[in-house]
């Protein structure tokens, strides 16, 4: 081997040693870097930053034993408070429903009718009513009024105590005192409101119908007779001022033929005077309205 070759081999060996040394240093540097990186990351994880948080307020809860009886009483008390408030807010009227009253027999009905009428009429006023066979009297009298007649023997009211009087002069006329003698009877008739009168009539309607059948109207309702009588009164003319008369023997007649030719029932109304006739007509209009409404 020549000297040149020995020198070349030596250079190659040195180069190899140098490269190997560099590799060792590189490995040491990489290992140290990895260890340092691992240490840094481990510290950031295991040592968190402490944050001061406010202590939560814990409300002390009371334990209440459940009592079913107390709960039921509480609910009942709340309902009792709500019901009056609702009633007061709506202001609901209280409606009293009276049980149906059993009617007496027609022959024994006077006491019942009188007791019922005493709720509407004063004791003194009620004395103007004939108090025997009251239902039958009313039926016969009303039936005759509807035909334009006056059934004096069956009148449901007593006769006026004062007599009929006239004013004598150039012309014979009815005295104002003659009108006034009918005023108590008109007050009696108008003491009941139209609705009260209809309620009374409807209550005793079976007895009115029974009495109506007795006088021969088996197939006609008494309502028809009542409407006929009302219409007879409502069509009566109202005469104001002095009413001239003619004297014939012991009776008086109207001087004007159109009045004298009126049905007897209407001529009797004229003797009551315009003021009383207006009151009677007004009451009968109301009664007719309520009767018609009750049939519809």
How do residues 268-294 score in pLDDT, each as one tens digit?
999 999 999 999 999 999 999 999 998
pLDDT for residue 46 is more than 60: no
Query: How far, rounded to the nearest angstrom, does the alpha carbon of residue 172 sit from its chain's CA centroid?
Result: 57
Residue 154 belongs to some domain of the structure:
yes
SS3 content of the chain, % helix, strand, coil (to 5): 60, 5, 35
C-alpha torsion sign, points 132, 136, 138, 143: negative
* DSSP designation for 74: H
* DSSP designation for 98: P
Residue 29 belongs to some domain of the structure:
no
* DSSP designation for 157: B
Mean pLDDT over 215-235 rounds to: 96
Q: Tally the domains of the chain.
A: 1
pLDDT for residue 53 is more than 60: no
Q: Cα separation of 147 and 171, whole Å?
A: 32
CB 151 within 8 A of CB 245: no
pTM summary value: 0.66
CB atoms within 10 A of CB 125: 16
* DSSP designation for 244: B
Which pairs with CB-CB distance under 8 Å and at least 24 residues apart come from 60-63? Answer: none
The phi and psi torsions of 3 (rounded to 5 degrees) equal -65, -30
Residue 71 belongs to some domain of the structure:
no
Residue 6 belongs to some domain of the structure:
no
pLDDT for residue 83 is more than 90: no
pLDDT at 170: 87
Residue 77 belongs to some domain of the structure:
no
CB 134 within 8 A of CB 204: no
End-to-end CA distance of the chain: 154
Residue 110 belongs to some domain of the structure:
yes
Name which of 37-41, 66-70, 122-126, 248-252 the model is least confident about: 37-41
pLDDT at 34: 46
Residue 118 belongs to some domain of the structure:
yes
Host domain of residue 284: 106-295
Q: Cα separation of 147 and 145, whole Å?
A: 5
Alpha-carbon Rg for the chain, nearest whole angstrom, is: 58
Residue 80 belongs to some domain of the structure:
no
The DSSP element (H or E) to which 4 belongs, if any, is helix 3-46
């Amino acid at each position: 081997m020549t000297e040149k070759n020995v020198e070349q081999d030596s250079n190659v060996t040195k180069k190899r040693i140098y490269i190997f040394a560099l590799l060792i240093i590189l490995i040491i540097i990489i290992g140290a870097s990895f260890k340092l990186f691992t240490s840094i990351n481990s510290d950031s994880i295991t040592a968190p930053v402490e944050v001061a948080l406010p202590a939560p307020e814990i409300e002390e809860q009371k334990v209440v034993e459940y009592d079913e009886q107390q709960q039921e009483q509480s609910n009942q008390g709340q309902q009792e408070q709500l019901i009056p408030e609702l009633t007061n807010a709506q202001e609901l009227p209280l409606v009293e429903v009276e049980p149906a009253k059993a009617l007496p027999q027609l022959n024994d009905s006077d006491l019942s009718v009188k007791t019922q009428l005493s709720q509407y009429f004063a004791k003194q006023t009620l004395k103007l009513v004939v108090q025997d066979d009251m239902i039958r009297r009313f039926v016969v009298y009303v039936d005759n009024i509807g035909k334009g007649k006056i059934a004096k023997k069956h009148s449901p009211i007593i006769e006026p105590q004062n007599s009929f009087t006239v004013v004598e002069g150039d012309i014979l006329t009815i005295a104002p005192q003659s009108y006034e003698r009918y005023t108590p009877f008109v007050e009696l008739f108008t003491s009941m409101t139209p609705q009260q009168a209809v309620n009374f009539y409807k209550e005793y309607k079976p007895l009115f119908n029974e009495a109506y059948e007795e006088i021969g109207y088996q197939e006609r309702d008494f309502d028809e007779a009542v409407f006929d009588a009302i219409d007879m009164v409502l069509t009566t003319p109202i005469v104001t001022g002095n009413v001239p008369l003619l004297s014939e023997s012991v009776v008086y007649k109207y001087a004007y033929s159109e009045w004298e030719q009126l049905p007897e029932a209407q001529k009797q109304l004229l003797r009551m005077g315009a003021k009383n006739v207006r009151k009677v007509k007004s009451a009968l209009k109301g009664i007719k309205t309520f009767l018609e409404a009750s049939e519809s």
